[in-house]
Amino acid sequence: MGIEQLLEKAAHYFKENDLNRIKEAYEFAEQAHHGQVRKSGEPYILHPLAVADILVDMQMDVTSIIAALLHDVVEDTTVSLEAVQDKFGPTCAMLVDGLTKLERIKFKTKEEQQNENYRKMLVAMAQDMRVILIKLADRLHNMRTLKYQSEESQRRIADETLEIFCPIAHRLGISAIKWEMEDISLRYLNPQQYYRIVNLMQKKRTEREQYIEDVITNIKDKLREMGIEGDISGRPKHIYSIYKKMSSRNKQFNEIYDLMALRVVVDNIKDCYAALGIIHTLWKPMPGRFKDYIAMPKPNMYQSLHTTVIGPKGEPLEVQIRTWEMHKTAEYGIAAHWTYKEGTTAPEGTFSDKMQWFREILELQKETDNAAEFMESMKMDFFTD
């Protein structure tokens, strides 16, 4: 992965002018980090480049991409914040400053100090939410390259990720990052269980895939008969969610049926309910398992219809139904909700009002300095689920 590939990908939604600014930021960062290497032995610049790449996938705005490329220059090189500001402007400098400060925070992982950790993160978010989004991408890439760290660091970083960064990703609805970080964390914190689940899943994989293939064909035919366009896919469950199910409900692996779930993505809300009807006529729904998160979205904006039916083999089969727009929100949460001005591509982003609750929390935290009091005053269980 080099800058050329990044620019190629970014060209799908950035204008030439923005692409030039991204290239300039890359060259600036490359020069600043020149001679530095990562623990893997690779040139350091590959890290900020990878972070920028994650943000391009999330379709973040150009300032975020530039700040991602520059996120370590103030902390790790002789470049000053003023120099960043002169060359890339005040917003970009503010983001880099936020990330530099966040880098210096020593998170405490003991349970009773959690409140203080969250407050620190929220203070950073209050400045500009993009700081947190870039930080999450940064942490994801560090997790992907965790094998180059010492064993002790691996455990500490994985622990911190699971305790602090995954819940934040969850609350912001950025599931794509949350799930990957959870799985990597488990691999380092409990390798025995992690690999055991991986192996057990592998064993019945072919059988499971054939089964899901048949189910998909069945639904596809029926949808077509009704004139509904839909994309149906099998969705293997994440290792961490299986692990949690086994430990919280004290179940054995072979007692967990729903290793694979189905996802139906259609064009509009009307088709979501139509698809639900079709599935419920094909297989009997299990009582109490239907959830309408379209009519009642989750606080992180997640929307979908959930149902569990008794599948053709008599086993429970979990199904999610959503539109393409909901799918994007399910993967990228708040990052999918930047509003762009008509006719322009990827300018400065602003968040839509859909996360009003989040704004309120940020306002609230400005008014109080005491971490415990702040968490208490939030009433809603912000970081627990």
- Identified binder of ligand GDP from the candidate list 59, 114, 154, 175, rule CB under 6 A: 175
**CA 306 – CA 131 distance, rounded (Å):** 33
CB 170 within 8 A of CB 131: no
Q: Which of 57, 75, 159, 325 is catalytic?
A: 75
Looking at beta carbons only, is 38 or 298 nearer to ligand GDP? 298
Here's the x/- map for ligand GDP, 217-256, by CB under 6 A: it reads as ------------------------x---------------
Q: How far is the CB of 54 from ligand GDP (least distance, A)?
A: 17
Count CB neighbours of 214 within 10 A.
Answer: 12
Per-residue x/- mask for ligand GDP, residues 304 to 323, rule CB under 6 A?
A: --x-------------x---
Please identify, among the stretches 21-29, 118-126, 181-189, 298-306, the one whose residues bind ligand GDP according to the rule CB under 6 A: 298-306
Could you identify the residue written with the tokens 């290793």? 259
Q: Which stretch binds ligand GDP (CB under 6 A): 48-56, 73-81, 267-275, 296-304?
A: 296-304
Set 76, 116, 160, 292: catalytic member: 76
Collapsing DSSP to helix, strand or coil, 339 comes out as strand
- Tell me how far, at minimum, the Cβ of 313 lies from ligand GDP, in Å: 20
CA atoms within 13 A on the CB side of 201: 19
Closer by beta carbon to ligand GDP, 302 or else 351: 302
Footprint on residues 72-91 left by ligand GDP (CB under 6 A): none
The token pair that represents 279 in the structure block: 């599935």
Q: How far is the CB of 136 from ligand GDP (least distance, A)?
A: 15
> Judged by CB under 6 A, which of 196, 291, 328, 354 binds ligand GDP?
291
Shortest distance, CB of residue 268 to ligand GDP, whole angstroms?
A: 20
As measured in angstroms, the least distance from the Cβ of 329 to ligand GDP is 8
Under rule CB under 6 A, residue 302 binds ligand GDP: yes
**Segments in the chain forming alpha helices (H):** 3-10, 16-32, 46-57, 62-70, 73-76, 81-88, 90-104, 114-127, 129-144, 151-160, 166-171, 175-189, 191-203, 205-225, 239-248, 269-282, 324-332, 356-367, 371-377
Q: Is 75 a catalytic residue?
A: yes
The helix/strand/coil state of 186 is: helix
Q: Which segment (107-115, 124-132, 147-155, 299-307) binds ligand GDP by CB under 6 A?
A: 299-307
**From 275, 330, 336, 375, residue interacting with ligand GDP (rule: CB under 6 A):** 330
In whole angstroms, the minimum distance from the beta carbon of 134 to ligand GDP comes to 21
Q: Of the candidates 175, 320, 292, which has an alpha carbon nearest to the alpha carbon of residue 235?
A: 320
- Of residues 298, 347, 354, 378, which one binds ligand GDP by CB under 6 A? 298
Q: Please give the angle made by the CA atoms of 254, 219 and 307, to the nearest 5 degrees.
A: 55
* Residue 291 host element (H or E): strand 291-292
CB of 291 to ligand GDP, least distance (A): 4
Residue 376 CA to residue 139 CA, distance in Å, equals 28
Given a contact cutoff of 8 angstroms between Cβ atoms, the answer to whether 92 and 124 are in contact is no
Site for ligand GDP in 37-56 (CB under 6 A): none
Q: Are 310 and 300 in contact (CB under 8 A)?
A: no
Q: Which of 250, 139, 130 is nearest to 184 (CA)?
A: 139
Residue in 63, 117, 300, 303 binding ligand GDP, rule: CB under 6 A:
300
Reported as half-sphere exposure (CB side, CA atoms, 13 A), residue 188 has a value of 25
Residues belonging to the active site: 75-76
Contacting residues toward ligand GDP, per CB under 6 A: 173, 175, 241, 291, 298, 300, 302, 306, 320, 330
